[in-house]
Structure 1
Amino acid sequence: MRDALAPLLSHPDTVRAADEIHRRLHTLGIRDLHIQAAMADLPLEDTAAARALGRHLTRTGTSTLTVNVGIALLARLGEPEDVPYLKVLGLLRVLARPAVDALTALHCPTAALAWLADHTENRALHHLIDAIAARDDDEARTWLINAPLHSGAVGPSTARRIAEAVRLADILREEQSDTQAIAQAGRLLSRMTGLRDYQPEILSYQQATTTYGAFVARASQLPPTLDHYAILLSVALDLHSGPSVLLDWQSGQREALLRALEAVLSTQSWAAVARSEPEEPAERRRVHWIRRTARQPFHHATVSRFRVEATVRDPADPDTVEVRLLIDGRPLVPEAFGKGSANSPEYLLDSGRLRAAAEPREVQLAEAYCTEGCCGALYVTIRREGDQVVWRDWRRPPTRQPQAQLPEYRFDAADYDTEIERAENDRSWAWPARNTARSIAAGLREQPDLLTRWDGQVGWIGTDFHDQDTTVVSFTYWPGLAAGQRDNDGPWLQFIWSLPDDGTPPENQAGAALRQLAEQDPKTYAQVGGGSRSHAEALGFPWPEPADPEESA
């Protein structure tokens, strides 16, 4: 690619050079992502000619390959007049990263990047905020501290970058800090502990303990609103049992912060927020979460050295529901694994996997954010030995990197059994649709033939990630399964059955769903959700078409 491009970059005939670049790139059959690396340090004998070529390619190019060459040239040679063109090109997904890199290299006004971030919701453009965070100027900091933190665009790592860029602790210590800045600080701290990443970013934020202290000191200045209550409660949950526990706290510092947050949320004005009943469904869902969760981070009862807590994050920023396993008050999974959340209550508790018996049982406690096959999982073997329960023989496949050995943990068996029984019977964390899902799953464990009679194999049962008030039952259709003649090499399909919460008791909804499975083939009312178009055609089912053209890309 370098050999093909180098002679043309300073060619005096801009139009002819552009045409030849187009021809050569397509002849080579290269990909867009190779362009920037190839162009980074190519010698430019005539910078004026190269700049003219860059402008011609970005403004008239007819393929992303040639436009990428133009953007790469302008990243090195561009001038203010090129900024508007680069901003518009940045709205195209495939050109977003090179356009942002070029704008950043040009030291263009922060407003150019802010405009680009404000005018797109495309999830491919998340790194726009990273580029803005990297700028060290007051305009960038002002924009970032006021920017909407949409969960789809600002994940844990970007939240940390923002906090570092704006010097969050310093902002909180300023007397003129307004409530917007205080609330934004809480959102950033909570987002850094999120589970949608490969590591707890809060542990990489060097100013974490200082920022937590500064935020809690200003918490009482926030007006008692639903959003602010959710922010304070989210921060408290993280300080109570999340990865933030593992920060380098001074003795009693974290506990003091929790007491301060409890004092704020215990006042009458804040308690009134929790008692409200908004008409808007999303707000009502959030209030109900607050009621279920409000006491969890402030639980002061004496417990054994082993504690199990099912934890649900703010439904306005949906995330994985996990079982936090705390040993001597420290969360095990982020400390021993750190590549994903602990598994769900349904997986670890409803199944009885954490129960201890004389026969050793290996249990997967957590899986990497990306899947076990990519970045691994955390396993332990649980066994009862007399009056003790032992956790040993840890595994973290499939990593090839050397890792510190995890210790053997021993627990008093009576205390362990009591805690597991309490956790298994605790439904206080679950909302109605989730309880419906748990009851359906329990019914299918007791009566698996309700699905197998229809050649169905149960899959995942839970709540819709985007609509937590909808229960979802997934199953795989394997022709011949009921007769014991499943063809593993033949066509199969995954089906998704969605059951919106109708307001009746969860056990009633689950009972109705199980009766429907007993009486009607679920393939007649569930929707195809996986497999392949060819399998669907072979089995006589319509293949779902994407609602948005971008979904098929």
Structure 2
Amino acid sequence: MSALVAGRAPAPRTSLYEHVLRLHRAEPDGRLPKGGYPMPDLPQRRRNPGWAEARAAVREILLPLLSEPDTVRAADEIHLRLDELGAYDRHIHPVIAEVPLEDEAAARALGRCLARTGTSTGAVSVGIGLLGRLGEPEDVPCLTVLALLRGFARPAIRALTALDCPSAALAWLSHHAEAPELHHLVDALTAHDDEAIRTWLAAVPVEPRTVGTETARRISEAARLADILRGDPVDTRVLAQAGRLLSRMTSLRDYQAEIVDYQQAVTAYEALVARASQLPPTLDHYATLLSLALDLHSGPSVLLDWRAGQREALLDALESLLTAPAWAAVAAAAHTDPTDPADPTDSTDSTDRIERRRVRWIRGAARQAFAPRTTPPRLRVEVTVRDPADPDTVETRLLIDGRPLVPEAFGRGPANSPEYLLDGGRLRATAEPREVQLAEAYCTEGCCGALRVTICREGRYVVWRNWNRPATLPSRQPPPALPEYRFDAAAYDAEIARAENDHSWAWPARITARLIAAGLRDRPDLLTQWDARLGWVGTDFNDPDTTVLSFTFWPGLAAGQRYENGPWLQFIWSLPDNGTPPEDQAATALQRLATADPKGYAEVRGGSREYAEALGFPWPGRPPPPAPRPPTGGLPRCPRAA
């Protein structure tokens, strides 16, 4: 780095790259540090400009320097001017992603200089951003080192992903892997020990709570799973693990279906299905293969870059395998299990209950996945239940011309539940335009947005227009353009009516929940008479055989005198399936709501300890006081209103 820039001398500090490299060389056996290295102590920023001001200033600083032929002079000037500005990394990354690059060779050289010699986070962030856009394979080692520093992990991994997915995935796992089993994998990957990697894949369970959707993708990338599946021979345990990892990547639980970002997905699918007959025919393997078929049929995997007819051929191969005698016997044995249907009140452990749910699930899932294929209709609404072994159970799939709309156009969460979209009649078209929320980000619309559309009937057509969604996908790429969709009105009405009346996907507790919700739509007074407002009705996430009703207690609600700033509490009422028909269970629940205050038998789950004490209810974890009495002839006065 030059000694002077316009008469100013940059501080002679060690570059951040050298700082990390020195720390890593001291690691035994070259192991990657759990969670990365902390940032060194750096001088405090001189000021903290606002968001818009900082971005504009960063752009003004960088534009004339990105094409500067004197790379060292440009790097020194960026150091000094960013230091004077006091911009944070979050101001710099968006500018680098969109700033025009007139001389790519000069910008690439500048990026390399800043990444290797930068002594401030701002300067190194510029270097990483430029290499993320213009980097070449020779830049992978430098970015891999910088990814070990906590402050640079995310941008460095993003840059590495475009250049070397396995290196990016390994860096990601070293920062995000929490389970001890994953650290063993990281060590094996760092040592390039192929035998240890295969041993890990064969022996370590992939549990939903420890291996989420992104972790499944990163494991597959780091371990080069597609290459392993194409090798010979392949351990059947590795083959089964590969199926579980692919299936996990199709889940929409963690904002997006990671399968669409897995660059080797098509290769892995093809290699797995080609060898699937080597798997022993067990219920677990049957469920895994059926889950893959469901996603190939109508899930996010439809969006992969398939050759003509390739996806359909994989579905045909899976259907042929699962209907072969040995595999069909697995399903037949499950269907004739004398313990099925199981008594939901029995005391069998959770593993047995999951297996029984799987038995019931297989019947409908197979019909859906292997339904006769025809030319896809303009609109198709499918409710899909995932493998009960995975807590992510129900998806509403909106298919336009055979392509799943929500993962392609939104990517931040699944479509809203069938109860919301179908039971509430929200997809019906009327002459009055109506905006409908099709999907919401898992963190709520107020945080990361939602997918909304206006639905209107116009003569012979139903029109979907005026789309409202975030400007980018989770990958930070702009989403594909959404046109105005026009549907034949008669065909549209028929499809919505079919979907609304098709309850074949629902199990008893879910049917009970839907019937309770319908009853409360017809008679909202069942809750409001107790100063309660309905939150939602569904099934317990961890125990799908239990119906759950959520409501909020607002003192004064029944009399129209709710105190906006007064205390409130959220209650949860759990109703385990008792084996009687769902219609009877729902009727009993509604009758109880009509005659007894639910605050006396539901549990407090939300609000605050202060609110609970003010309203005379126990906060979770404390011994309960006497149950509150139902209001008689009046409403209790809110303590805060005194």
* TM norm structure 1: 0.75
Tell me which residue corresponds to 2:371.
299
| SS of residue in 2 equivalent to 1:214 | helix
Quick one: distance in 2 between partners of 1:430 and 1:133? 44
- 1:378 paired with 2:378, answer no
Give the one of 351, 355, 364 matched to 1:283.
355
Quick one: distance in 2 between partners of 1:444 and 1:460? 10
Quick one: distance in 2 between partners of 1:370 and 1:142? 36
User: Do 2:553 and 2:568's aligned partners in 1 also have CA atoms closer than 8 Å?
Assistant: yes
Quick one: distance in 2 between partners of 1:365 and 1:300? 27
Change (3 A) 1:224 1:245: same
Change (3 A) 1:204 1:294: same
Tell me which residue corresponds to 1:329.
402
Give the one of 573, 579, 589 matched to 1:497.
573
- 1:522 paired with 2:605, answer no
Give 1:273 deviation, angstroms. Answer: 2.3
Give 1:403 deviation, angstroms. Answer: 5.3
Quick one: distance in 2 between partners of 1:504 and 1:202? 40
C-alpha RMSD of matched pairs (Å): 2.9
User: Do 1:320 and 1:341's aligned partners in 2 also have CA atoms closer than 8 Å?
Assistant: no
Give 1:272 deviation, angstroms. Answer: 2.8
Amino acid at match of 2:612: A
Quick one: distance in 2 between partners of 1:521 and 1:130? 53
Change (3 A) 1:452 1:129: farther
User: Do 2:188 and 2:194's aligned partners in 1 also have CA atoms closer than 8 Å?
Assistant: no
Quick one: distance in 1 between partners of 2:326 and 2:302? 29
Q: How does 1:141-160 map to 2 (within 5 A)?
A: 141-146=197-202, 147-160=204-217
Q: How does 1:67-466 map to 2 (within 5 A)?
A: 128=183, 131-132=186-187, 134-135=189-190, 136-146=192-202, 147-275=204-332, 276=334, 277=337, 280-300=352-372, 302=374, 304-397=377-470, 404-466=480-542
Give 1:128 deviation, angstroms. Answer: 3.9
Deviation digits for residues 397-441 of structure 1 (CA, Å, limit 9, x no counterpart): 587986554111111111111111110011111111111100000
Amino acid at match of 2:302: V
Give the one of 466, 470, 476 matched to 2:546.
470
Deviation digits for residues 478-507 of structure 1 (CA, Å, limit 9, x no counterpart): 111111111111111000000001111111
| SS of residue in 2 equivalent to 1:274 | helix
User: Do 2:377 and 2:402's aligned partners in 1 also have CA atoms closer than 8 Å?
Assistant: no
Quick one: distance in 1 between partners of 2:445 and 2:469? 9
Tell me which residue corresponds to 1:537.
613
Quick one: distance in 2 between partners of 1:210 and 1:367? 31
Change (3 A) 1:445 1:270: same
Give 1:318 deviation, angstroms. Answer: 1.1
Change (3 A) 1:283 1:163: same
Deviation digits for residues 233-264 of structure 1 (CA, Å, limit 9, x no counterpart): 10001111111101110000000100111111
Amino acid at match of 2:260: L
Give the one of 501, 505, 511 matched to 2:587.
511
Range with greater deviation from structure 2 (518-527 or 289-298): 289-298
Change (3 A) 1:374 1:139: farther
Change (3 A) 1:546 1:126: farther
| SS of residue in 1 equivalent to 2:38 | helix
Range with greater deviation from structure 2 (234-243 or 369-378): 369-378
* TM norm structure 2: 0.65
Give 1:281 deviation, angstroms. Answer: 1.5
Change (3 A) 1:546 1:289: farther
Amino acid at match of 1:317: D
Give 1:149 deviation, angstroms. Answer: 0.5
Which residues of structure 2 form unaligned runs of 5+? 1-13, 15-34, 44-148, 154-172, 340-347, 624-642
Amino acid at match of 2:197: R
User: Do 1:123 and 1:152's aligned partners in 2 also have CA atoms closer than 8 Å?
Assistant: no
Quick one: distance in 2 between partners of 1:173 and 1:139? 16
Change (3 A) 1:183 1:34: closer
User: Do 2:189 and 2:197's aligned partners in 1 also have CA atoms closer than 8 Å?
Assistant: no
Quick one: distance in 2 between partners of 1:129 and 1:357? 58
Tell me which residue corresponds to 2:49.
none
Quick one: distance in 2 between partners of 1:546 and 1:149? 36
Amino acid at match of 2:39: A
Amino acid at match of 1:393: N
Quick one: distance in 1 between partners of 2:184 and 2:540? 28
Range with greater deviation from structure 2 (394-403 or 498-507): 394-403
Count of aligned pairs between the two proteins? 443
Tell me which residue corresponds to 2:627.
none
| SS of residue in 1 equivalent to 2:505 | coil
Deviation digits for residues 28-51 of structure 1 (CA, Å, limit 9, x no counterpart): xxxxx998113699xxxxxxxxxx
Tell me which residue corresponds to 1:50.
none
Which residues of structure 1 form unaligned runs of 5+? 1-5, 7-32, 42-96, 102-116, 548-553
Amino acid at match of 1:38: P
Tell me which residue corresponds to 1:67.
none
Quick one: distance in 1 between partners of 2:595 and 2:194? 66
| SS of residue in 2 equivalent to 1:294 | helix
Quick one: distance in 1 between partners of 2:456 and 2:207? 44
Tell me which residue corresponds to 2:56.
none
Amino acid at match of 2:384: T
Change (3 A) 1:225 1:448: same
| SS of residue in 2 equivalent to 1:326 | strand
User: Do 2:214 and 2:249's aligned partners in 1 also have CA atoms closer than 8 Å?
Assistant: yes
Quick one: distance in 2 between partners of 1:192 and 1:504? 37
| SS of residue in 1 equivalent to 2:572 | strand
Quick one: distance in 1 between partners of 2:415 and 2:604? 29
